[in-house]
Amino acid sequence: MKLYFAPMTCSLSPHIVLRELDMPFELVRVNNQSKRTADGHDFREINPMGYVAALVLDNAEVLTEGPAILQFLVDQVPGNSLAPAAGTWERARLQEHLNFISSEIHGGSAPLFNADIPEPVKAIFRQKLFKRLDFLNRQLTDQDYLMGGFGVADAYLFTVLMWLPTFNIAIEDWPALAVYMQRIGARPNVQSALAAEAATLPV
Ligand SMILES: N[C@@H](CCC(=O)N[C@@H](CS)C(=O)NCC(=O)O)C(=O)O
């Protein structure tokens, strides 16, 4: 199995989960500008949308879209603690979290990365994002993780919240989120995923 990734992007969440599940995988870096991959492909031949993450199975099937990849991975290891079983009410709750993170935090952050969007317009997106952060902060005030113990939704939320300093947004303004980031960031598999990505050569 190969995980196509770019450092400091959303592909970190399936990377963390692969390590948490102790699954064998190969990490392949993608240059998100040139779309070249470290194993010599044009990445658009793998994911026509040209964005990470992409998971390529040993049978050459390709899976894209973070929430789909995360759920595929956990379903490969029956009885693991990173997600409730498929088909249960709790799995629907997990999907609620993943969709919220994907559309409201990940998608909601995208305009803030865009250098062509004028600052007053970005301010509108910021305000919207702040409301979502308020909501998460309230949730995580009384609990350490989004759902019971550490799970795939936490790997994803940690990943997208890591971008806040890039937008000059201080996580300390949401105290429960600041503590949450420290908690997730201290996990050995999170640290090893970050270190492994940093150790790859630019493409
Ligand atoms: N809908 C996709 C979005 C993936 C995405 O936004 N990937 C970003 C990195 S976080 C990317 O590779 N952007 C480069 C590009 O769009 O060219 C998902 O949820 O997996």
Q: What is the CATH number of the domain that holds 145?
A: 1.20.1050.10
Residues 14 and 30 in one domain: yes
Q: Residue 9's pLDDT is what?
A: 98
**Along the 203 residues of the chain, how does pLDDT read in single tens digits?**
999 999 999 999 999 999 999 999 999 999 999 999 999 999 999 999 999 999 999 999 999 999 999 999 999 999 999 999 999 999 999 999 999 999 999 999 999 999 999 999 999 999 999 999 999 999 999 999 999 999 999 999 999 999 999 999 999 999 999 999 999 999 999 999 999 999 999 99
Name the domain count of the chain. Answer: 2
Residues 8 and 97 in one domain: no
pTM beyond cutoff 0.95: yes
Residues 38 and 96 in one domain: no
Residues 34 and 18 in one domain: yes
Ligand 1, atom 2, lies closest to the CA of 65
Residues 111 and 180 in one domain: yes
Residues 193 and 179 in one domain: no
Residues 21 and 77 in one domain: yes
Q: Is the CB of 66 under 6 A from ligand 1?
A: yes
Residue with tokens 């910021």: 126
- Across the chain, which distance is largest between two alpha carbons, in Å? 48
Q: For 176-189, give one letter per residue: b (16+ CB within 10 A) or e.
A: bbbebbebbeebeb
CA neighbours closer than 13 Å in the CB half-sphere of residue 90: 11
Ligand 1, atom 14, lies closest to the CA of 51
Which residues partner with 149 through β-bridges? 147
Residues 180 and 121 in one domain: yes
Q: Residue 135's pLDDT is what?
A: 98
Residue with tokens 């420290």: 182
Domain CATH for 52 = 3.40.30.10
Which DSSP symbol is given to 37?
Answer: B
Q: Residue 92's pLDDT is what?
A: 98
Q: Is the CB of 8 under 6 A from ligand 1?
A: no
Helix (H) / strand (E) containing 3: strand 2-5
- Give every strand in the sheet of 2-5, ordered side by side: 26-29, 2-5, 54-56, 62-64
Task: Name the residue range of residue 130's domain.
Answer: 89-187
Residues 71 and 149 in one domain: no
Q: Is the CB of 174 under 6 A from ligand 1?
A: no
Q: Residue 49's pLDDT is what?
A: 98
Residues 103 and 123 in one domain: yes
Residues 105 and 71 in one domain: no
Interior CA angle at 21 toward 20 and 25, to 5°?
100
**Segment 168-203, tens digit of pLDDT:** 999 999 999 999 999 999 999 999 999 999 999 999
Residues 70 and 101 in one domain: no
Residue 64 CA: nearest ligand 1 atom is 20
Q: 158 vs 16, 43, 73, 85, 103, CA distance in Å? A: 10, 26, 18, 22, 15
Interior CA angle at 69 toward 66 and 72, to 5°?
150
